[in-house]
Amino acid sequence: MRFFSLLLFCWCLNGFAQKQQAVDFIHAAIAIEPNGIEKTVQGSVEYTFLVQRKVDSIFLDAENINIINFRLNGTTIEYVNTGKKLGFKSPEKPGEYSLYIDYLARPKQTVYFFGWDDVMVGNEQIWTQGQGKYTRHWLPSFDDMTEKVEFDLSITAPKQLAVVTNGELMTKTSHKDKQTWSWNMEHPMSSYLVAFAIGDFKEETRESSTRVPIILYYNQKDSSRVAPTYKYTTEHFNFLEQEIGVPYPWQNYKQVPVHDFMYGGMENTSCTLFSDQYMIDEKGFVDKNYVNVNAHELAHQWFGNLVTEVSGAHHWLQEGFATYYAYLAEKEVFGDDYYYWKLYETAQKLIAESEKGNGESLLDPKASSLTFYEKGAWALVLLQDLVGDRAFKKGIQTYLLAYSFKNATVADFLAVMEKASGKDLEEFRKKWLVASEFPKASALAYLKKKDPSIKRLEELATTIESSTVITKENVTNFYNSKAPIGFKKEFIKRYVNQLDTPTLQKILMEGELLVRQAIIANLEQIPAQLQTDFETLLKDDSYLTQEYALLVLWQQFPERGSFYLDSLSTVEGLPNKSLRILWLTLALITEQYNSSAKKQYYEELNAFTAPEYNFEVRINAFRYLIQIQALSDSSLRNLVQATQHHSWQFRLFAKRQLQHLVSLPNMAARLEDLQPSLSETEKELISKLLTE
């Protein structure tokens, strides 16, 4: 290379993270063709940028991307590619320029390919998760969240598959067995919010009260689950627009369920991706639903996408705000009692961590999700209470309008809120944002002021803690059948094992599903005289209640085990298949139960460990199979391969299970036998485990 390239390379190593304030990237025209078989992204991007004052060099982030062409204003120029960064000499004169990059990416993360290597038809998907600084793995872009660009994408995919990405679909162009989907954005955003999903998706379109299209995607197999899954979506949208006081800032809002998504959801601009484990039926709604995640990701379209944090130290402005507004949206559809008891539940978690010395400041960029989400929401609850609803809403509206399509800091937000309210918020900042300790007294005082049933539960707790003798009568007298569900659930969780049998039976027969569920989930021993009453839970309108009841009844009344299994032999349960997997496990270990079908049960249970299933399903299957020592060779191989999964939670689970398994008789030999079928990375892992 010439002297410039060498000099630039050295400069790159010493100072790549500089703010490029002299250069402003305005627009990106992106054309990509992901290849599911090769697991590559063939692409090009043409950036329009402004040089506003003299600067030596310009940089982009690009992780392990092979550059094919690199042109400035149509002329091929020299550049440096370190494997992580791209750099080139800046034009000498201020003005507008065009940078064209033709490239091939082999992303090790951020772009995920599913269903392209198996024999199943119709399960092929490709989707992205770029939160943080990871879009650079498939698109030369910017780790710096303050570099906001209008991204327009054209994506080519097999004709039988649908493509979804940021913005509004403008055209679909067919050529042979492929189709190119061209999308348009109207406003700039940070690079981490660029996303796409490709798969066999169908769609259903709704409309907000302000005429914004709301496009809901689903897989054909889940068509009957669209209504319960997306319940309250339009209500959330209308409520948040009104409550926030700023119109929804993007052309439309799309939601796409994808396979094996590692989180609940991700708020990509106008294009939320979420785990298909939330695609539930009517019965499953009470146990696990998309309502909160739905509202949370939608709120991010304002808090995070419209106005973006400057850095991780200001993450409260995104996660705390999205959590807070999601709770308000739930309050709108589920009522005040639900809202205050949800806050009580999160306060208990925060208090417990704080009292263990694990409290964290909301200004700590390395704080936990519990801190950013739940303590962050609590800070806003108390801020709204401090300044009043009118001033709070005025401050929120002013903040969003002042920093639209820009970045903000916590100090920026507080300054706006101080002006809107006329109050000095320094004490609030110290107490709720700076301090690591969770303000227990303030939180509980607020809740007891807002909800009398919370005050009643706290009084009961105080009475019990101060008593030398706790009688069942003391506890029973505090139970109120007219209290909110939140009170009843928490009461049962804490005191169900201190209730007398008549009271327990009375509560069980009250007819409230979540109360019955709390009882079966927390009761240590079913009274013999209530066995028949508890057996009715096998037919309850909740998969979780049925699952809890099956396990508890099977354990405590083994002579009726076959009857219990027969009662639920055709029920699959939630998308994570936890009920079906429990049923198969119990069917295998229950002597004389359908002996002729044991082999079938064994094969079905082991099949749930395969990669085509969501990792939640696989974790459930692995746990039970390991517990009853029934891992097949295929399942053992699946467990080893899971150590390379894209979900860090699943990888960690798999490694820990293998660490446990190597200590068991004959397992070392079985792992040795697997080695020829493993990748080099997997072989190294097994060799290390066997020699530890």
The position carrying tokens 């969780």 is: 493
Question: How many C-beta neighbours within 10 Å does residue 356 have?
Answer: 8
C-alpha 391 chain-centroid distance? 32
Domain limits, the chain? 1-199, 200-302, 308-450, 572-692
Tokens of 410: 């916590």
Query: What's the pLDDT at 132?
Result: 77
Q: Is 150 helix (H, G, I), strand (E, B) or coil?
A: strand
pLDDT higher than threshold 90 for residue 195: yes
pLDDT higher than threshold 50 for residue 236: yes
Q: How confident is the model at residue 362 (pLDDT cuts 50, 70, 90)?
A: very high
Q: How confident is the model at residue 471 (pLDDT cuts 50, 70, 90)?
A: low
**CATH number of the domain at 200-302, out of 3.40.50.2000, 1.10.390.10, 3.40.50.150, 1.10.357.10?**
1.10.390.10
Alpha helices in 183-245 (DSSP H): 226-229, 233-244
Query: What's the pLDDT at 7?
Result: 46
Tell me the average pLDDT across 193-207: 98
Tell me the β-bridge partners of 253.
214
**CATH number of the domain at 308-450, out of 1.10.390.10, 3.40.1050.10, 1.10.10.10, 1.10.1200.10?**
1.10.390.10
pLDDT higher than threshold 50 for residue 1: no
Query: What's the pLDDT at 607?
Result: 98
Q: What is the DSSP letter of 161?
A: S
pTM of this structure: 0.95
Query: What's the pLDDT at 6?
Result: 42
Protein fold of 1-199: Immunoglobulin-like (2.60.40)
Inter-CA distances, 531 with 210, 522, 557, 590, 591, Å: 54, 16, 8, 20, 22
pLDDT higher than threshold 60 for residue 228: yes
pLDDT higher than threshold 80 for residue 692: no
**Based on the number of CB atoms within 10 Å of its own CB, is 424 exposed (0-12), middle (13-18) or buried (19 or more)?**
exposed
Using an 8 Å Cβ cutoff, are 413 and 317 in contact? yes
**Based on the number of CB atoms within 10 Å of its own CB, is 200 exposed (0-12), middle (13-18) or buried (19 or more)?**
middle
**Looking at per-residue confidence, does 171 or 464 come out higher?**
171
Tell me the average pLDDT across 288-317: 98
Angle at CA 348, nearest 5°, toward 344 and 351?
Answer: 130
Q: Is 476 helix (H, G, I), strand (E, B) or coil?
A: helix
pLDDT higher than threshold 50 for residue 376: yes
Between β-strands 196-199 and 162-165, what pairing exists: parallel, antiparallel or unpaired? antiparallel
Strand ordering across the sheet containing 85-89: 57-61, 85-89, 80-81
Residue-wise pLDDT tens digits, 240-271: 999 999 999 999 999 999 999 999 999 999 99
Number of H helices, E strands in the chain: 27, 23
Query: What's the pLDDT at 469?
Result: 55
Share of the chain above pLDDT 90, in %: 87
Residue-wise pLDDT tens digits, 411-430: 999 999 999 999 999 999 99
Query: What's the pLDDT at 470?
Result: 56
Using an 8 Å Cβ cutoff, are 43 and 67 in contact? no
Please check whether the two domains, 1-199 and 308-450, share a CATH topology: no
Q: How confident is the model at residue 119 (pLDDT cuts 50, 70, 90)?
A: confident
Query: What's the pLDDT at 605?
Result: 99
Tell me the average pLDDT across 361-386: 98
H or E stretch covering 627: helix 615-627
Query: What's the pLDDT at 534?
Result: 98
DSSP 81-135: E-SSEEEEEPPSS-EEEEEEEEEEE--SSSEEEESSSSS-SS--EEEE--TTTTG
Residue-wise pLDDT tens digits, 10-25: 444 444 434 457 999 9
Residue-wise pLDDT tens digits, 30-83: 999 999 999 999 999 999 999 999 899 999 999 999 999 999 999 999 999 999
Residue-wise pLDDT tens digits, 641-686: 999 999 999 999 999 999 999 988 889 889 988 988 889 999 899 8
Tokens of 590: 């229950």
Query: What's the pLDDT at 9?
Result: 46
Residue-wise pLDDT tens digits, 428-459: 999 999 999 999 999 999 999 999 999 999 98
pLDDT higher than threshold 50 for residue 581: yes
Angle at CA 515, nearest 5°, toward 509 and 520?
Answer: 85
Tokens of 522: 């927390």
Q: What is the mean pLDDT of the chain?
A: 94
pLDDT higher than threshold 90 for residue 183: yes
Question: What sign has the CA pseudo-torsion 227, 228, 232, 233?
Answer: negative
